[in-house]
Amino acid sequence: MNRNKLKGRIIIGLTGFSVILILAIIVIMISIIIYNGRSNFTWEFLTKFPTDGMTKGGIFPAIYGTALMVIVMSIAAVPFGTITAIYLTEYAKENSVISKTIRFAVRTLAVVPSIIFGLFGLGFFIKFVGGNIDNIFLGGTLKWAQPNILWASLTMALLTLPVVIVSVEEAMRAVPKEMREASLALGATKWQTIIKVVIPGSISGIMTGTILAVSRGAGEVAPILFTGAAYYLASLPTSLSDQFMNLGYHIYIMSTQSTNVDATMPIQYATTMVLLLLTFTLNFTAVIIRARIRRKKV
Amino acid sequence: MNYFENINNDDEELKPKDENTLDYSPQKGFTSESLKKKFRLSEFLAEKLITLIAFLSITIIILIFVFVFRESLPIFYKTKKAKTEKIISTNSKTENVNSNGQETYGVETKKETPTNSNGQEQYGAVTDNNKIKEEERKETPEDRASFRNLTGRIWQPVSDDPKYGLLPLFLGTFKITIIAMLFAAPVAILAALFTSNFASKRMKEIIKPAVELLAGFPSVVVGFFALMVLASFFQNVFGYETRLNAFVGGIAMALAAIPIIYTITEDALTAIPKTYTEASLALGASSWQTAFFVTLPAATPGIFAAILLGTGRVFGETMIVLMATGNAAMISLNPFDSVRTLSATIGAEMAEVVFGDTHYNVLFLIGSLLFIFTFTLNAIAEFYVKGKLVKRIQGKS
């Protein structure tokens, strides 16, 4: 009996320890990054260009590039994700082969390694689509068949599509069935019901999906390694066929290939801090909106 | 008795009512014709369009497979003639890579980087001269990724006699995966067990969002943390020589895998019917015995799925390994040696490779292998494990 109790203590202790370990890792990671980055985290840092061979100055072009990419990405991912969610909730029969296949595809899309999206972006968007555009419309001049912000954003859109689909679908399922039935009973067609009842009812879900997708897209680097991110650009991208600087890529390059790691260390920490704060704020907002949706459902 | 009678009465009352309402409608002027759905073109088009777009995700999966695999195909049938054609077409593209500013900057600076000794950086410092040399070299017949070359023991894509041995890359990937899973799986599963069985409601409200927070960490940030903090810390503790190695990478990778394993395991554990735990408790088992001998075994398929998906994540993760493992392709079983994984190889070399080159095709081949592997893991987790879990909960096996 006594031995049993001891065993129980050990096991509960072990499980508790695992939880504490995870929490401790999170706290340590955040505090080390913020501790080392805080002194450089100033308004100038956020709004200035890098100077002195990237050892001084700010990260404005990286922030700008990330924002631009994320916007183009959302324009591509959100409508398609929402429409897929509409299909899954409103049109597809539950447990039919088609909806099962689509769900499987969405889940597969969510687990495909991000570097594969990068390869796909290179092989499909840059070489195939871009190459054909150049050959057919521009008579072979090289414009679209090279890494740029459009291809990077579209690659990222594929990566974030499942995020949008899953959260929009959740919100659409939270719209009560009675509301749809009421709308149909009043003589509205199915399409009118979707436009006037289902979509307005799940607008917060669409927002959550967008925010989560933006947070994911801002943090991923692997897909844009060779589809459009650049190490250093003297000017901001002005068209979609330009390359761009990106926060995550900036961190990667600065920390692995910088001339003088010691000199750029504060900049690296501060950049990491900016990226971390950005994704956290976005995730936190999404969590709050999502919690409100769930409360509404009950 | 009364109770049953009531039910019967209710049924009797309901039945005629139902029939009445059914009979009613046609008499009120509704014919079966008028009740039929009207055909509306816009409705029809909208539905078709939505269906079409919904198929997009399936199309993307197929396209990914086709296009990633297509770029790797020339390895298998490339003849000398096809190669020379490619060289002509890539000449213009090579210049393009150089002109985007990124390369020239990298060349100047790469000399003093910390990872210089590992071979990756030498590659990074490809100068224009080297590239010209590469193109000349391509015409030699030895430059073909034969099967023997691909299964070789040396990965040395940039040299006079390029070697595309995938063995060290596979070994590195498996080494990292094993280290990461050895750390991540127990921690995540035990933590999930704690949350589902022992934690109070308030504790749950702290733990779950915290793990979600960890899932939201961009992998670059984890990689950066491993590179800057973990590497030095472990070097002080264990006193090994190479600062960036498989162990550091594995631990950092575990941080990325923990949230996935935790979430899926937790879902599987909470999906176990309450009757199971109640029966166990009623038989006199203590709460930890219930958790360990009833809940945990009942959820094994779910936990298995969690481990599979965690493995898939670790297998394909790029940024963390790129930053924290040293990226030296060597064959060794020592966890404190540098490694180079499949995904990191793509990430590090693709930006500098010549389009259409054998090296380029080999990198796409690696990509196809990665894709097939994660796809299979996901499919197993999806179909086999889920079916089993459902059956087990319903008591059919």
In this prediction, residue B394 carries a pLDDT of 66
A114 or B121: whose pLDDT is higher? A114
CA–CA dist B364, A116 (Å, integer)? 9
Other C-beta atoms lying within 10 Å of the C-beta of residue A24: 11
Interchain CB distance below 8 Å, B51 and A8: no
Closest to A66 (Cα-Cα) out of A212, A216, A207, A205: A216
Contacts of A205 (CB under 8 A, 6+ apart): A167, A168, A170, A171, A172, A174, A293
Q: pLDDT at residue B125 above 70?
A: no
B37: chain A residues, CB-CB within 8 Å: none
In this prediction, residue B240 carries a pLDDT of 81
- The answer, for B255 touching chain A at a CB cutoff of 8 Å, is yes
In this prediction, residue A295 carries a pLDDT of 76
- Tell me which of A97, A108, A125 to substitute to probe the interface with B (most B C-beta atoms closer than 10 Å): A108
Using 50, 70 and 90 to split pLDDT, how confident is the model at A113?
very high
Closest to B258 (Cα-Cα) out of B269, B266, B268: B266
Using 50, 70 and 90 to split pLDDT, how confident is the model at B152?
confident
CA–CA dist A121, A178 (Å, integer)? 43
B115: chain A residues, CB-CB within 8 Å: 256
The percent of residues in chain B predicted with pLDDT above 70, rounded, is 71
The encoded tokens of residue B343 equal 């995904």
CA end-to-end distance (rounded Å), chain B: 38
In this prediction, residue B255 carries a pLDDT of 93
Q: State the burial class of residue B152 (Cβ atoms within 10 Å of its Cβ: 0-12, 13-18, 19+).
A: middle
B231: chain A residues, CB-CB within 8 Å: none
A212 or B395: whose pLDDT is higher? A212
In this prediction, residue B28 carries a pLDDT of 56
Q: Are A212 and A143 in contact (CB under 8 A)?
A: no
Closest to A230 (Cα-Cα) out of A210, A217, A247: A247
**Residue B179 corresponds to which amino acid?**
I
**Residue B258 corresponds to which amino acid?**
I
Q: Are B201 and B290 in contact (CB under 8 A)?
A: no
Strand-pairing partners, residue A124, are none
Q: pLDDT at residue B114 above 50?
A: no
In this prediction, residue A76 carries a pLDDT of 94
CA–CA dist B258, B320 (Å, integer)? 14
Measure in Å the smallest separation between the Cα of A44 and chain B Cα atoms. 22
- Annotate chain B with three-state secondary structure: CHHHHHHHHHHHHHHHHHHHHHHHHHHCCCCHHHHCCCCCHHHHHHHHHHHHHHCHHHHHHHHHHHHHHHHHCHHHHCCHHHHHHHHHHHHHHHHHHHHCCHHHHHHHHHHHCCCHHHCHHHHHCCCHHHHHHHHHHCCCCCCCCCHHHHCCCCEECCCCCCEECCHHHHHHHHHHHHHHHHHHHHHHHHHHHHHHHHCCHHHHHHHHHHHHHHHCCCHHHHHHHHHHHHHHHHHHHHCCCCCCCHHHHHHHHHHHHHHHHHHHHHHHHHHCCHHHHHHHHHCCCCHHHHHHHHHHHHCHHHHHHHHHHHHHHHHHCCHHHHHHCECCCCCCCCCCCCECCHHHHHHHHHHHCCCCCHHHHHHHHHHHHHHHHHHHHHHHHHHHHHHHHHHHHCCCC
- The answer, for A285 touching chain B at a CB cutoff of 8 Å, is no
The mean pLDDT value for B250-279 works out to 92
- Between the alpha carbon of residue A238 and those of residues A61, A208, A233, B102, B207, the distances in Å are 12, 29, 12, 18, 44
Helix (H, G, I), strand (E, B) or coil at A56: strand
Least reliable range by pLDDT among A22-31, B66-75, B178-187? B66-75
Mean pLDDT of chain B: 76
The mean pLDDT value for A100-114 works out to 91
Least reliable range by pLDDT among B101-115, B149-163, B366-380? B101-115
In this prediction, residue A1 carries a pLDDT of 58
Using 50, 70 and 90 to split pLDDT, how confident is the model at A180?
very high
A7: nearest CA in chain B? B288
Q: Are B315 and B373 in contact (CB under 8 A)?
A: yes
CA–CA dist A289, B266 (Å, integer)? 23
A118: chain B residues, CB-CB within 8 Å: 346-347, 350
- Tell me which of A35, A55, A83, A112 to substitute to probe the interface with B (most B C-beta atoms closer than 10 Å): A112
Residues 264 to 283 of B: which have CB under 8 A from any A CB? none
Q: Which of A109-118, B330-339, B346-355 has the highest mean pLDDT?
A: A109-118
Q: How many CB pairs under 8 A join A and B?
A: 294
A116: chain B residues, CB-CB within 8 Å: 64, 68, 316, 367, 370-371, 374
Interchain CB distance below 8 Å, B57 and A106: yes
Using 50, 70 and 90 to split pLDDT, how confident is the model at B262?
very high
- The answer, for A108 touching chain B at a CB cutoff of 8 Å, is yes
Residues 52 to 91 of A: which have CB under 8 A from any B CB? 53, 80, 83-84, 86-88, 91
Using 50, 70 and 90 to split pLDDT, how confident is the model at B393?
low
Model's pTM, two decimal places?
0.81
Task: Select the residue of A105, A116, A255 nearest B224 (Cβ to Cβ).
Answer: A255
B320: nearest CA in chain A? A252
- Tell me which of A2, A84, A111, A224 to substitute to probe the interface with B (most B C-beta atoms closer than 10 Å): A111
The mean pLDDT value for B48-70 works out to 91
Least reliable range by pLDDT among A282-291, B36-45, B191-200, B356-365? B36-45
A259: nearest CA in chain B? B109
B171 or B131: whose pLDDT is higher? B171
Contacts of A34 (CB under 8 A, 6+ apart): A273, A276
Q: Are B188 and B310 in contact (CB under 8 A)?
A: yes
Interchain CB distance below 8 Å, B53 and A108: no
In this prediction, residue B30 carries a pLDDT of 66
The mean pLDDT value for A162-174 works out to 92
- The answer, for A21 touching chain B at a CB cutoff of 8 Å, is yes
Helix (H, G, I), strand (E, B) or coil at A148: coil
**Residue B291 corresponds to which amino acid?**
A
What ipTM does the predicted assembly reach?
0.91
In this prediction, residue B220 carries a pLDDT of 93
Largest CA distance in chain B: 98
Helix (H, G, I), strand (E, B) or coil at A250: helix
Interchain CB distance below 8 Å, B43 and A260: no
In this prediction, residue A237 carries a pLDDT of 87
Q: pLDDT at residue A49 above 80?
A: yes
- The answer, for B115 touching chain A at a CB cutoff of 8 Å, is yes
Measure in Å the smallest separation between the Cα of B11 and chain A Cα atoms. 25
